[in-house]
Amino acid sequence: MDWNYNLISPSFLFFPLFQLEDFSFDTTGRQALSILESDELKSFRQKHGDDIPVLVEGRVGIIQSKDDNGNEDPNVYIQQLKDAGAIGAIVGGGLASDEAGISLLQL
C-alpha cells in the first residue's frame, strides 16, 4: 500500500532536554535550542505550518542563560526558547525550591 504521509499532521511537537545516548539531562539547554533553530524544524514548519505547538520538556525554569550583564537567569533561557518558537514546557519534575526556579507560565 502506498501511504500518503501528507495526510498525517501531528497535534504538537516536544523536544526533551536529555541526551539520547545515556538519558542524562542536558543541563546547558543547548540541545532544545539547536533543534528549535534547526533547518529540519524549518522544513517541518514549511510542510505542516506554524500552527503546531512546540513544547520543551525537562528542567525548564531551572536551566539558566546569561543576560546582557553576564548574570545567570532562568528568564533569559525561557525567552530564548520562546524566541526560537517554543510556546510552552512540559515539566515532569519539581522546580528548584529557591527563587531561581521559575515557571514558563509566569512570562
pLDDT digits (tens, 9 = 90+) for 25-82: 788 888 889 989 999 988 888 888 778 888 888 778 788 899 999 999 989 999 999 9
Task: Find where cell 518558537 sits.
Answer: 85
pTM of the model: 0.71
Q: How far is CA 68 from CA 65, 72, 76, 78, 101, in A?
A: 10, 10, 9, 15, 20
Q: What are phi and psi of 7, to 5 degrees?
A: -80, -20
Going by pLDDT thresholds of 50, 70 and 90, the confidence category of residue 8 is low
